[in-house]
Amino acid sequence: MRRRCLIAESAPQSGVLLTWPHPFTDWQDDIDAITAVYVKIAREISRREPLVVICYDDAHQRQVEQLLANAGLDSNALHYFQVPTNDTWIRDYGPIAVSAETERELLDFSFNGWGNKYPAELDNAVSTALNAAGLFTATHLQHPPLVLEGGSIDTDGEGCLLTTSHCLVRSGRNPGHDKHSLEQLFQELMGIEHVLWLDHGELEGDDTDAHIDMLARFCSPLTIAYMQCTDPDDVHYPALGAMETQLRTFRHADGEPYRLVPLPLPRPVCTATGQRLPASYCNFLVINAATLVPVYDDPADAVALERLATCFPDREIIPVSCLSLIRQYGSLHCATMQLPEGYLSLS
């Protein structure tokens, strides 16, 4: 029996963390459009489980409270905390839950703005601040000496980790570490017994250096959904094809191949200057009784929703328009962080 176990996203949850956009983030020029997306996300989550809304300060909290009240959200499901932030991508600076025999542990890895690309000092302090405010029930909030973002790893909850070598090994986040040394740390910290390293695949516009939650995700211990490119003229065709080939070689701990579910690549969504944005259906969020799926006003949306419905037959599939969200190079999963049942102290 494993002493520690990284908990799967599909496990029962005590709530979801959401950092609300404010004028001191990169959303300052699109605050109305992005706020509408966050209201939709907040509505769908709060219908099914508690939602922790992180606000910049008291004035910001009052504004958000009024906004969500006007939108008709149930105030009993909303829990507000004030912590100043650089940005809203809490998936990458929020705590990561691990079960340790009879104890609950949270891992607060270092966050340095995806390899020092952006300011991150405030974001890196969020988990510590929330812990000091009494939000977590965990026995320990550990601070491992490792740069690691939540969007860079995915687990089946049975000791297997899915990740990319580009982000964890080749991006320079942790000089001196290779696959072997990282695997040892993952085993020690999270009870990981097997790491599936994807060596190919990256979406244009993804400034995270190939986070796994843009490329391939566990839907169950034996099912992986992944981004597929079928257009030879698309720039993603070679790398995603190589990724698909590698996925076919992966085996579950019992030796069985995975059930692989391809998700289509949406048509290109670009900035005003022509830069392609990382529109991905793999950036879905699993919550209690539902899976929220990013959509992009694209014919491929319906295909992605239909295929993900086969991956989550016992959950409602909820589309969430994320065209505004990907303007800052992330999507739905990037903007949220779930915590398992029993890990939040909410009155």
What is the DSSP secondary-structure string of 96-159? Answer: EEEEETTEEEEE--B--HHHHTS--HHHHTHHHHHHHTT-B--SEEE--SSB--GGGEEE-SSS
pLDDT (0 to 100) of residue 102: 80
Q: What is the per-residue pLDDT across 57-70, written as a single tens digit (0 to 9) for each?
A: 999 999 999 999 99
Closest among 162, 143, 160, 140 to 152, alpha carbons compared: 162
Residue from 126, 267, 283 nearest 211 by CA: 283
Burial class (CB in 10 A: 0-12, 13-18, 19+), 131: middle
| Residue 346 domain-assigned (yes or no) | no
Q: At 34, is the secondary structure helix, strand, or coil?
A: helix
What is the pLDDT at residue 318?
Answer: 98
Helix (H, G, I), strand (E, B) or coil at 292: strand
In tens, the pLDDT along 105-161 reads 999 999 999 999 999 999 999 999 999 999 999 788 999 999 999 999 999 999 999
10-67 pLDDT, tens per residue?
A: 999 999 999 999 999 999 999 999 999 999 999 999 999 999 999 999 999 999 999 9
Asked if residue 345 is part of any domain, the answer here is no
In a domain, 347, yes or no: no
| Cα 242 from Cα 239, distance rounded (Å) | 5
State the CB neighbour count (10 A cutoff) for residue 293.
25
Task: Kindly tell me the sign of the dihedral angle through the C-alpha atoms of 62, 64, 67, 70.
Answer: negative
Mean pLDDT to the nearest integer, 306-329: 98
Residue 267: both structure tokens together: 């048509």
- Tell me: pLDDT of 2 over 60: no
Task: Residue 264: give the domain boundaries.
Answer: 4-340
pLDDT of residue 347: 74
pLDDT band at 343 (very low <50, low <70, confident <90, very high): very high
Does 186 map to a domain?
Answer: yes
pLDDT digits (tens, 9 = 90+) for 186-223: 999 999 999 999 999 999 999 999 999 999 999 999 99
Report yes or no on 32 lying in a domain.
yes
In a domain, 289, yes or no: yes
If one counts the domains in the chain, the total is 1
Cα distance between residue 226 and residue 223, in whole Å: 10
CATH number at residue 136: 3.75.10.10
Distance CA(144)–CA(61), nearest Å, equals 31
User: What integer pLDDT is reported at residue 1 of this predicted model?
Assistant: 42
For residue 274, how many other CB atoms are within 10 A of its CB? 7
Radius of gyration of the chain (CA): 19
